[in-house]
Structure 1
Amino acid sequence: MKEACLEPDPVSYRTLLYAYSVRHIVSKAEELISEMDERGLEIDEFTHSALTRMYIEAGMLEKSWVWFLRFHLSGKMGSDCYSANIDAYGERGHILEAEKVFNCCREVKKLSVLEFHVMIKSYVVDKHYSRACQLFGSAESHSVIPDRCSYSSLIQILASGDMPHTAMPYLKKMQESGLVRDCIPYCAVISSFAKLGQLERAEEVYKQMV
């Protein structure tokens, strides 16, 4: 485009920048970022999250955090972008950094049920089940009401971790909240009890489901 004397627009830059990020071509991505900064072109949230992930997967954890802070401190990050950054750190087991992003989101009062979903998912990657439960329990104190997906995810996580007894209170509360629309959460708990050889408990839950 430049050789043809055509001026690349912001979309052209973002498209190329995203391509570099998913291929972990850090040097080229940084060259393009510098060029965009010189021209005063903004990087959208989708591309920003992809670049955070690029740094993480390239083993450049400190640089990923500096990159995150650049946008967090600008005050322009939305809930979806915070969630994407939590997920990027959590998937790689960087729980401390995922928590820091979560807390940054809390500080700017942009917490939604989505941030709780991905933070709980991050805890489960490292099998921090108790911390996942604690976070779930704190949602309402942040004016976030757990939805059907929240309950179902936590129940299935606990059931798959051989913790059906811990999952049962959440299943009961989900039922009381009128959020159970299918047999999936019940089946997860039933299967977990059966796996542990606790067939009587599995039958009890089956009867409750019916």
Structure 2
Amino acid sequence: MEGRCGWAGLDPIYVEYHDTEWGVPEYDARTLWEKLILDGFQAGLSWITILKKRENFRAAFAGFDPHVIAEWGQADVQRLLNDAGIIRHRGKIEATITNARAYLEVNATEGFDQFLWKYVDGVPLQNAFATQNDVPPSTPMSVQVSKDLKARGFKFCGPTIVYAFMEATGLVNDHILSCHRHSECAAMALPAKGR
């Protein structure tokens, strides 16, 4: 389609993700956590690899239920390392268990959604990039969010991973200006009182 972010390409899975999910403001704490975990697994790989395996990840990780995952140990790590349907990376698998525990703590004290949305005062940032080349891999804000997540015990959440996550979950609208989804996602940017 004319006027779509170039990274979406022609793969139907990518196009569907771009047109219906990427950049849509996500306010559900558990869904935000799942997306952060998947962005961590994506590090060093292409996002299409994760999209094609997303349902396998959900099955392997108990529907991304942090209460279940937080109780897992080395036997579960080994089980997941043997699961060909996911990315079999020990560090990322172990980080998911650690991140489940960190998520439960943050969510219990202030709400994981509130923790993240406070960086943009509850309203998605609207960027106005003309081309994909103008979009930065990270920003001072993603550096700060990464630092704060790590201080809370999270792993695999560097500034670049965090920025990709912020784009995906609509904390920032990085659809390029000529993309039909830029204005559509901007229209979804409701202030906290409007939700």
TM-score by length of 1: 0.25
**Which structure shows the higher helix fraction?**
1
Structure ranking higher on relative contact order (CA contacts 8 Å, 6+ apart): 2
TM-score by length of 2: 0.26
